[in-house]
Amino acid sequence: MDTDALLSYNWAIMAPEFTILGVATLLSVLDLFMGKNTSRRPLLWMALAGVAVAMAFVFAELDTDVTSILHDTYRLDFFSKAFKILLLLGGFLVLLLAADYRKKELQEYRGEFYYLFLTALLGAMIMASSADMITLFVGLELLSLSSYILAGIRKKSGKSNESAFKYVVSGGIATAITLFGMSYIFGLTGQTNLFDVVETLQEPVLLEHSFLLVFAFFMTFIGLSFKIAAAPFHMWAPDVYEGAPIPVTAFLSVVSKTAGFIILLRFILLTFIAAAGIDRDPLLVQVQPYVIVLAAATMILGNLGALRQRNIKRLFAYSSVAQAGYILVPFVSNSTQVFELIWFYLLAYIVMNIGAFACLQTLTRDAGSNDVSIFRGLFSRSPWLASAMTIFLLSLAGIPATAGFAGKFGIFMGALGPEPGHYVLAGIMMLMTLVSYVYYFNIIGLMFFRSGGTGGRRISIAPSIGAVLVFCAIATIGLGIMPNIALDFFFGQFDVNEFFMNTGHNH
């Protein structure tokens, strides 16, 4: 590619990615030359500023038409803009959590944490804008490799080392399976660009190899199911969540999971949307039973697993597994509603889950324990912290007037909407939501109706944690009472048809 061709591209549409890349590079250089005992606090503010500027660029691009560069491997469309907003919002809130994380083991590596966090975020953003299997995989690996290091960043902690090892092993297996499935798609079509793949799959000769196409779907879907911690590929999550620092756990629970659903939507839906399965029936219709079983198993195992947990981080790991099951339900309907349902629920999940982790970080630091008993008598020691945690738990449980209820209600009605309605799956979703009340309301009961805790002493809340709690609590209640605010923004700015429109090749 010559210089004229490079200069002809509209590089401005990659401003958010360039911002994150530039800040991550700058932080790594500065950290290299800073003294060992020098405070890394300035690096935090630079990282926060970089994420904020990247978010500003995304909002500035909202009115930009669908644009693709680099032979349609990078796309700026409704999908990329909508999900980058979620990624950057989650990233900003997690960085505020990290500002107050004071474990001694992390102090020495705080500089590494910031730029590794930004490179992981960059990988997720690349996935949101990718329209090619190669760039999708590069983004996925950039996110994964950075996450592996973040999970084990407390090098002197045995649990942190264990979590990193298990994460690397399970992640490597998932990557291999995903790549194996992608290789079949490339072998069948001879293309890596997703739009070229879609067009090639319409050719009659490929109908003779429909079995291989179904096999490729299962391989890629199973590999990506590891990434979102869907059952039965979720067993790494409790150990990794327990061993990783809480800001990293929050990142894996929210930002990394959002990225997993991004690649599922971008790759699975776009690639197989018009593909024919065995006997020439639509492939996505034929594989519905598998997706239904996967979603149901994820909801059931996640919620039942959480019932037995005393370690609060492991409890939230299983809760995160169950939430992944809820988000998988819209994939069954194969309607255009899948985008708005998943986007809204991920938005709700970001604010309620990061808010909950902000409370956990404050409590675990104060008590020096991860046992669920740290919530005993919390209301008497810190009424504001107990009230905020109650809001987040009620939202995670799906109680009305919270963001979690609005998201679950939309998913539930979406499962019943298309003909034939998926009544069994909707019933399992409702039943498992009721089961989740047991462990969520147990924590609320400990906070308000049990005495004890850490000697009855008051709990101080750091300013950065306070900011996260206030924002997340207001957003959780606001999205629950007025979900139309977010949905009107979604429909006002984004056109779902853009997702399937190829500007680069004029298909």
Tens digits of pLDDT across the chain (507 residues): 567 777 777 788 999 999 999 999 999 999 888 877 777 788 999 999 999 999 999 999 988 888 888 888 899 888 899 999 999 999 999 999 988 876 554 555 678 889 999 999 999 999 999 989 999 999 999 999 999 999 988 887 788 888 899 999 999 999 999 999 999 999 988 989 998 888 888 777 777 778 888 899 999 999 999 989 898 888 899 999 998 889 999 999 999 999 999 999 888 888 887 777 777 778 888 888 899 999 999 999 999 999 989 899 999 999 999 999 999 999 887 667 888 899 999 999 999 999 999 999 999 888 878 889 889 888 988 899 999 999 999 999 999 999 999 999 999 988 887 667 788 999 999 999 999 999 999 999 999 987 765 555 678 888 999 999 999 999 999 999 999 999 888 888 777 777 776 644 433
- Say if 115 falls within a structural domain: yes
203 in the same domain as 144:
yes
274 with 320, same domain: the answer is: no
Q: Are residues 304 and 247 in the same domain?
A: no
**CA end-to-end distance (rounded Å), the chain:** 24
How far, rounded to the nearest angstrom, does the alpha carbon of residue 417 sit from its chain's CA centroid? 26
Burial bucket for residue 279 (CB in 10 Å: 0-12, 13-18, 19+): exposed
Say whether both 338 and 277 belong to one domain. no
The predicted pLDDT at position 201 comes to 83
Single out the residue in 262, 286, 310 at which a domain terminates.
286
Give a yes or no: residue 50 inside a domain: yes
Query: Both 253 and 342 in a single domain?
Result: no
Q: How many domains does the chain have?
A: 2
CA torsion sign for 56, 59, 64, 67 is positive
Residues 244 and 352 both lie in one domain: no
Is the domain of 275 the same as that of 307?
A: no
| Pair (178, 45) in one structural domain | yes
Do 236 and 98 lie in a common domain? yes
Q: How far apart are CA 220 and CA 179, in angstroms?
A: 7
Phi-psi region of 419 (alpha: psi -120 to 50; beta: other; left: phi over 0): beta
Which residues touch 72 (CB under 8 Å, ≥6 apart)?
131, 132, 193, 195, 502, 503, 504, 505
| Angle at which helices 312-333 and 236-243 cross, to 10° | 140
The answer to whether residue 292 sits within a structural domain is no
Cβ proximity of 79 and 266 under 8 Å? yes
HEC sequence for 142-210: HHHHHHHHHHCCCCCCHHHHHHHHHHHHHHHHHHHHHHHHHHHHHHHHCCCEHHHHHHHCCCHHHHHHH
Flag whether 209 is in a domain.
Answer: yes
Q: Give the pLDDT of residue 453.
A: 55
Verify that 252 and 216 share a domain, yes or no.
yes
User: What was the pLDDT predicted at 445?
Assistant: 93
Q: Is residue 32 part of a domain?
A: yes
- Spatial CB neighbours of 12, under 8 Å, sequence gap ≥ 6: none
Give how far Cα 300 sits from Cα of 187, 304, 318, 424, 490, Å: 37, 6, 10, 13, 31
Distance separating alpha carbons of residues 359 and 348, to the nearest angstrom:
17
State pTM to two decimals.
Answer: 0.93
Give the residue from 229, 256, 286 where a domain finishes: 286
Residues 6+ apart with CB under 8 A from 107: none
Torsion angle, alpha carbons of 170, 324, 47, 97, to 10: -100
Q: Give me the domain span that covers residue 389.
A: 299-500
Q: Are 44 and 152 found together in one domain?
A: yes
Question: 484: which 2 tokens?
Answer: 């139309």
Backbone angles phi, psi at 400, to 5 degrees: -55, 155
Instruction: Give the type of residue at 293.
Output: V
Do residues 265 and 314 share a domain?
no
| Residue 507 within any structural domain of the chain | no
